[in-house]
Each structure stands twice: as structure tokens, then as C-alpha cells.
Amino acid sequence: MSAHLIPSRRGLPADDPIFALHAEALALAATGRPVLDATVGALLDEAGQLVVLESIMGLWRQLTALEVAPYAPIAGDPAYLRALVQRHWPRLPGAGSACATPGGGGALSLSLRMFLEPGQAVLTAGPCWAAYPTIAAEGGVRLATAPWPAAGAPLDAAAWRASAEALLASQGRLLVWFNDPCHNPTGRSLAPADRAALAALLTDLAERGPVTLLLDLAYPDYARDPSEVAAALADYERLGEAGRVLVGGALSLSKAFTLYGARAGALAFPWCQDRDLQAALVTAARGLWSNCARAPQSVVLRLLRDGKAQAHLAAEHRHWSEILEDRALALDAALEAEGLAAAPWQGGFFVTLALDDSAGICARLKAEGVFAVPVQGGLRVGICGLRAADAPRFAQALRRVLEG
């Protein structure tokens, strides 16, 4: 049958690499072997079951037929878009130029069609979420990276400048995807001084051509210190307000509401009310997926009217952030007990252990029944699925593998 496929679509991997590793872990567990699966990208409770936020499911169960069945507007319900933006920037009166998308992934894809010509490159921090290269390739562009800072080290502003300048010079435009705060895969956020350096750099480059900074805000509800998240978002708000760099958000309800399967999100440019940008967003959405799902938008509209559900959701986010922090601390303690370096966590579902040859280590860990994801410069450990009680076994297996 592959003769039917055009040549450029042949020979692609059959599954996303992370889902493939997870499937291997499940297959091994099914044989009765004790397995530690730290590949998962969804929040699991202490019994290994998917966490579903009760505040959100309570609202979902109340939905009536007319809150589920009709088409939503192609751009998304305006109150939904405003609410998604105000979750991050509560002072803003509206969503600006914005469009509903199937999750944050949909928002990232849509952004490529707005700001890059085919064959150009989007710049992001490496390591990055493993889907970025696929999203870029499917959008007909390349993915260029500049380094995310190592733990305790400052941002390599010179490397960022060099990469950004080169792209701007060759393309006449620059699009940056930036997963801050609560970065996947490192679990860290940029330090305030680094954020200031990046903002200054992009502002400076915006003199030479259009510069767009798209913040990938998948995890900010799960943070060790919510005030750090608020400060980061306030920094980006100042950059957006200044108006030299076009600042936007790839917003998602997947993690925020544990509505992964509802495929809800938005691509929003809250400091830009531009007719052409709005028309471009809606036209591309129409051509790609038409309308997004109505039900999750209706849940957001119900949440807006329900102060009790809002308080419940905030309490659930706090509770699970504390569990994630416990797991991160337990992992650090276990790693240190084995003489290995800790991996400080600030937010999100993962930490990355800085290691060379992470692909080789990943392969040897599998023989120990331990699964984690190799990323550029290290091994991604999903603390969203790794209980604190399992941290010692994880660290012991890693030490044995490293001692080889």
C-alpha cells in the first residue's frame, strides 16, 4: 500500500517516541515484571490512576445538550477566549486577536502558518517537548534551538542572540516558541534576570524585522511557588504591552483542567487587536479543523459563573502541586543517597537529570524495568507519574546503570 503514499510521507515512525516507550513499559508490566514508568505525561495519583479534577468534572456533568451539541464559533466563544487569557493575565480586558484551538498543540501548529513561510525555522529552547520537531515538520518548517539554561546557570544570552540574529537575517522574521514558566522537560522556569535579558534581546531585534514570542503555557497551574509564575507572567505582560515584540500564548486546558482528551486551547495575542491577524487565524482554523469542541468551552463558561467551583479548582491545583513537589523532593533525596546529582524542580510534570548518552542509559534502564525519556542533554523523568515511594528504586536502578 505504501505506493499510494507520496514519497515524503513514507517511513515515518509509527508512533510518537514517548507513547512508544510508554507502550513498551505497559507490555513489560503485563508480563508480571515490576515496572517503573516515568514516561507518562499525565498526572497520576498514588495508585497510578489518572487524576481528573473533580471541580471540572462536576461542571462537565452539568452540561446540557445545547452546551455540547451545537458548533462553536470557528474563532471560539469570545467569553471562553477571554477567560483563558485572564487565567494568566487577570488584568486584561479581553483576549485580543485569538482563536480556539485543539489544545496547546493546535495553537503551536497554527502559529507556524501565521508567522513563517514554508522552509523557514522556528526558534525554541533545547531541550524541548518531543512533539515540537513533529509539529514544526508538519507545519513545513524547521526547528532551531538555543540552549535552555542548565540548573543554577544563567541563560546563554550570546547563543540566543546568535541564533535569533541569524534567523532574522535569513528569514526577515523571527518566531520563538518559549515554554516558560514550568518548562517541559526540565521542570524549571527562567530566572527573572534571564527573562529580562531575553526580553531586551528580542526587543532589540524587533528593530530589524517582525519578532513574535509565543509562550507555551501548558503547566503554570502546577508550580512550587505560584508567586514565581505570577512574576514571570507579569514580565511577559510588560513585554507584550510595550508592543515592539508580538507576544502571544499557546493556551491549553489539557493539564490545567485535566481535560487532555477534550482537546481545548487557544492561540491568543492579548496585546494585539488586529483585523488581519484575526482573519488569518480564523481562516487557517477553518481550513485545518473548522470548529473546536463546544463542551470544554461550555465548562469554562460555567466555571466563570461558579465561585465555589473556582475555589475548588484552585484548591485542587494547590494540592497536586504539593504532591508534585513531594515527588520531586523524594527523587532528589533518593538520587543524592545514591551519590547522584539532584534535579531541582519549580513546576510542571517533569524533571530532567543532566546525563550524557541518555539514549544508551534509557536502553539499559529498560532492562531494570525502569522507563524514562531520553532528551537532549539528559533523561526526562515524569514526576507526574512517579510516586515518592518509588524514587529510591528509580535512583538505585540509575546508579547501577551508570556504574555499568
Ligand X SMILES: Cc1ncc(COP(=O)(O)O)c(C=O)c1O
CA distance 339 to 126: 27
CA distance 155 to 78: 37
**In the bound complex, what is the minimum distance in angstroms from residue 268's beta carbon to ligand X?**
14
Identified binder of ligand X from the candidate list 231, 260, 280, 392, rule CB under 6 A: 260
Among 76, 96, 104, 240, binds ligand X (CB under 6 A): 104
Among 76, 96, 181, 265, the residue binding ligand X under the rule CB under 6 A is 265
Is the CB of 75 or the CB of 262 nearer to ligand X?
262
- Cβ proximity to ligand X: between 206 and 218 the closer is 218
CA 344 – CA 353 distance, rounded (Å): 9
DSSP 9: G
Contacting range for ligand X; rule: CB under 6 A; set: 44-52, 102-110, 143-151, 201-209? 102-110
Region of 100-108, 141-149, 157-165, 201-209 interacting with ligand X (CB under 6 A) = 100-108
Q: What is the largest CA-CA distance in the chain?
A: 61
Q: Verify binding: residue 254, ligand X, rule CB under 6 A.
A: yes
Please give the angle made by the CA atoms of 130, 136 and 142, to the nearest 5 degrees: 110
* CB 245, CB 206: distance < 8 Å: yes
Shorter beta-carbon distance to ligand X: residue 246 or 264: 264
Footprint (CB under 6 A) of ligand X, residues 120-179: 129, 179
Cβ atoms within 10 Å, residue 132: 22
Is residue 216 near ligand X by the rule CB under 6 A? yes
* Cα–Cα dist 356/394, whole Å: 18
Q: Which is nearer to ligand X, 249 or 270 (CB)?
A: 249
Does residue 352 touch ligand X according to CB under 6 A?
A: no
Cβ–Cβ contacts within 10 Å for residue 377, how many?
Answer: 18
Tally of CA atoms within 13 A in the half-sphere of 137 that contains its CB: 8
Does residue 382 interact with ligand X by CB under 6 A? no
Q: How many CA atoms lie within 13 A of 372 on its CB side?
A: 31
User: Does residue 298 touch ligand X according to CB under 6 A?
Assistant: no
On whether the CB atoms of residues 300 and 84 are closer than 8 A, the answer is: yes
Query: Is residue 103 a contact point for ligand X (CB under 6 A)?
Result: yes
109 or 358: CB nearest ligand X: 109
**Binding-site ranges for ligand X (CB under 6 A):** 41, 103-105, 129, 179, 184, 216, 218, 252, 254, 260, 265
